[in-house]
Structure 1
């Protein structure tokens, strides 16, 4: 079985490719022209997922290990037993750690979102043959419009992810939600 980071990366690549095809279909429909796939754009968006998903995955793992979303709540019937012993005996349960969850959402939607957006814009610019100067220009022109649009979508997704989705399924959940977002990005950066 492949390591989770590899699975997450391949899932994201397939989802990004599909979203780019849908974005191209929307563009063709709007312009009332037949769909002719732009394989360069398709390859670029697929490559973006292959390049950007591993750092995103590691970011999520680090956030969870730094601010665990669950805490063990034990019954005090045996105060001398460890939490592990209580878990084995069914005397402990996992509860949402609200404070850590709020911290994770805030950090993810500020530092994480900024870093991942700059990484996305840099990667797509490089894949399109851009220079370092082009990267700075792209970030300067596109960062705020995309970041502000993302703040309408990603905070609720992040909150759902950190509260309801098991850690090992968060990348797939995020990638699935990202399907629509990637359509937007394909259209916005076309």
Structure 2
């Protein structure tokens, strides 16, 4: 079975690639979680985040943005002492800020709609022959990044946003030789 080369041989990566990456996600809370995790990944490898994902979920109240939005310095201090997550003050504080921004977008029509409207409600179907062809950002990820920042989000630059778009299936960037390319395309 052929898959995208980035998945390698690590069972965690392979499972993520084969069951999650690129599958269209329409749940507002789950979309927020994935954007937050992509922000924490900045400067690190994605496998680091995957291995700590359950710890992140426990530390951040199941990624319930309505809970996280009410947090302050006591929770920041607690999280900075948690060895199970990435202990980066800026990213932790941004998560709280982003929860509040999420609430505003959610109340105004839904975080899911906010994102999916930018791709016409369905995934962009790319047809890359190899990973070297896949961009790290696009004009669309730059625009979404600007829109998120205008709404109050942090740690959501164009590269983070593009990786997020790939992860949540807003774009299908499985290479055409990967067994998941056609499967994910059908989900769109």
The TM-score with structure 1 as length reference comes to 0.31
Query: Greater share of helix residues, 1 or 2?
Result: 1
The TM-score with structure 2 as length reference comes to 0.31
Larger relative contact order, structure 1 or 2 (CA cutoff 8 Å, min sep 6) = 2
